[in-house]
A and B are shown apart, each in its own frame.
Chain A
Amino acid sequence: MVSYVNLVIYFCLVVLFAIITLFIAKLIRFRDPNFDPVKLQPYECGEDPVGDAWAKFPVSFYLIALVFVLFDVEVAFIFPWILALPKLGLIAFIEMFIFLFILFLGWIYAFKKGALKWERNQ
């Protein structure tokens, strides 16, 4: 329990540090007396910004996120297994081998479907 209390104290102090730093910066930062509102434009190499940045982006990013969630859950399953493996022995090994084999099939499926593909040929 002591460790978790330490962790909470540490967490609070770090958060406090971040907030205080930002607050001090806010207090003593430079304020331009001749502030030009054009500074508030998003940076687009000096041109006037075209349209909104919150627009469409490639669907590949969604696919990667989906595949990641899938495989990350598998990794979460492997952690307890690997700690118990020396006690459970061969049966646990074979079970996990089957599990990893199915995972591997899923990986091949994602591969074949092009979810991991980034090259565009237009």
Chain B
Amino acid sequence: MPWSEIGISLVKIALVLFLVLTLVAYLTLAERRISAFIQDRLGPNRVGPFGLLQPLADGLKLIFKEDIIPERANKILYVMAPAFSFITAIIALAVIPIGGGFSTSLFGLLKEPTFIKFQIADINVGLLYVFAIGSLSVYGVVLGGWASNSKYSLLGGLRSAAQMISYELPLGLSILGVVLIAGSLKLGDIVQAQAKLWFVFPQILGFLVFLVSSFAETNRLPFDLPEAEPEIVAGYHTEYSSMKFAMFFMAEYTHMIVASSLIVSLFLGGWYLLPYFGWFGIDIVKYWFLPPLVFIGKVFLILFLFIWVRWTLPRFRYDQIMNLGWKVLFPLAVINIIVTSAVIVFI
């Protein structure tokens, strides 16, 4: 592996980390502003123009805060849990393709033009990788809840574990229809298979199951029982303060970004602008910057949907959540597989 390739990957990784962390910061601002507008308030608008420096102020405030580790907590796990949560959330982004890529010789630095993909790691098992990492994310939450040695934290962690594993089944099953039509687990291939038609149309049932399950997986309302404020204070991060709390917070928002990019690349055509006909003749090799813009625009729309739903719907009861997961979404996802595979085999 030549050094130039490592250099390119380092630049890509730095760019992705920078973009994602900035996006996470501004997502918190967006959440507060949009919730304010939905509730006919103004929201934070004092720090900088339109409150645009608010995330920076929040970050600085959190990093300077007093850090309290409860005396009866398991110290090692208590410190590890937020970091673990954050790491597992952010490394899932490595396989998300935000565009095709472009050829460049880096202004003549390289002898022959290299093709740079808009993706950190284009691995064959991309989708499985995302789901494997997604399953790990439950550990951060449950460890944080258990290690705090507080009753609210423990309850939050337990609820979260049960909810996340319950919704992982429909989540995993609902994408199988997409995998069957695309014939690949590579996310790039799956997006390219949607050039003619977005998968949301042939896979509408799978899409709905996936959408609902990803709301539950990201612990967002109407499924945010792990941190239901009126019942268990703040759930698994009740005892956390300072930067450790911020890490849990960042992990939650990164999960939202991962879920949105997955929804976009699996069902909403990835970097294709319209549901039909791909790029209708625009040469995306020449205009290589268009696909990433389209992809990111779609991700923003889905993120807005996440926030919109949170401030519109009330919270479910816990038994309702479990019933929805096991008795509605799971059978629906299985039916979706059977119907899709029957159509593929018999037609």
Binding site for B on A (CB under 8 A): 1-7, 9-11, 13-15, 17-19, 21-22, 24-26, 28-32, 37, 39-45, 49, 52-54, 57, 60-61, 64-65, 67-68, 71-72, 75, 78-79, 82-83, 85-86, 89-90, 93, 96-97, 100, 103-104, 107, 111, 116, 118-119
Contact = CB atoms under 8 A, between A and B. Distances in A.
Given A40-B71, A42-B151, A21 B87 contact: no
Nearest to B20: A14
Interface string B306-347: 000000000000110011001100110010011001101100
Interface string B168-199: 11001100100110011100000000000000
Contact of A24 (B63, B176, B183, B327): B63
Contacts of A107: 330-331
Interface stretch (B4-12, B35-43, B288-296): B4-12
Given A6-B9, A64-B162, A116 B342 contact: no
Contact of A43 (B64, B185, B239, B345): B239
B334 A104 contact: yes
Nearest to B128: A79
A79 B17 contact: no
B228 to A, nearest CB: 15
Interface of B: 1, 5-6, 9-10, 12-14, 16-17, 63-73, 79, 82-83, 86-87, 90-91, 94, 120-123, 128, 146, 148-155, 158, 161-162, 165-166, 168-169, 172-173, 176, 179-180, 183-185, 233, 238-239, 242-244, 247, 318-319, 322-323, 326-327, 330-331, 334, 337-338, 341-342, 344-345
Nearest to B331: A107
A78 B5 contact: no
B303 to A, nearest CB: 21
A72 B169 contact: yes
A18 B66 contact: no
B120 A7 contact: yes
B63 A25 contact: yes
A32 B66 contact: yes
B121 A6 contact: yes
A65 B322 CA distance: 12
Given A6-B9, A29-B242, A82 B176 contact: yes
Given A25-B242, A118-B322, A43 B233 contact: yes
A29 B6 contact: no
17 contacts: A5-B6, A6-B121, A10-B91, A11-B91, A22-B247, A29-B65, A40-B68, A42-B151, A44-B150, A64-B165, A64-B322, A68-B169, A71-B169, A72-B172, A83-B179, A85-B341, A85-B344
Contacts of A19: 83
A93 B342 contact: yes
